[in-house]
Amino acid sequence: MREKGSRRKRKGGNPTSCADVLEGTLQGLGLGRVTRHLALLKAWDRAIAPRIRERASVEDFREGRLYLCVEDPIWLHELHMLRHKLKIMLNEEVGEAVVGEIVLRIGRTARRASARMPNPPLQKPARAGLSEMEARIEQLLRPLEDVPCRDALKRLFDRWAARSI
């Protein structure tokens, strides 16, 4: 415990930026992974060609590995050959080396799955007019339904997404 009056006062130092405070707070709450995931999704939407995004979707991002789901073996092979280039493009778009490896698997992509199933299981139906980014933010925040700071995080991510478009 701190004793009374033991707080250190900053002497002549620069003020801490809000971004640094926010980043530290999110890391402290264990939400650093969420912010990295959102930054990667934004980079995916910006840096990757639409013809690839139509046939591949981001499944997960953990420990520097980006997991992609592709719709058929032809695209699996194509993206396997392009995976190093995709990794470089995504890391450049994010501004740091967050993707170390790209893991590919065959399955239904998010675009194809939503076309076949109007309400995918374990997901709430998306509200009309939501962009793909807003839908992903909702999906990432879904596990935090009962956390008191969820609404504040939602507003923060919405502002961040709007600023990055």
Boundaries of domain holding 47? 29-109
Quick one: 33 and 103 in the same domain? yes
Residue 24 inside a domain? The answer is no
Quick one: 33 and 85 in the same domain? yes
Residue 153 inside a domain? The answer is yes
Report the pLDDT averaged over residues 45-57. Answer: 89
Q: What is the pLDDT of residue 16?
A: 82
What are the beta bridge partners of residue 65? 62, 101
Instruction: Indicate the pLDDT class of residue 4, thresholds 50, 70 and 90.
Output: low
Residue 1 inside a domain? The answer is no
Looking at the 3D structure of the chain, how many domains does it have? 2
Alpha carbon dihedral 37, 165, 89, 157, in 10-degree steps, equals -10
Task: Quick: pLDDT tens for 80-98.
Answer: 999 999 999 999 988 888 8
Residue 162 inside a domain? The answer is yes
End position of a domain, from candidates 81, 109, 137: 109
Residue 81 inside a domain? The answer is yes
Question: How is the beta sheet containing 56-62 ordered, strand by strand?
Answer: 56-62, 65-70, 101-106
Query: Is the pLDDT assigned to residue 51 strictly greater than 70?
Result: yes
The whole-angstrom distance between residue 56's C-alpha and the CA centroid of its chain comes to 16
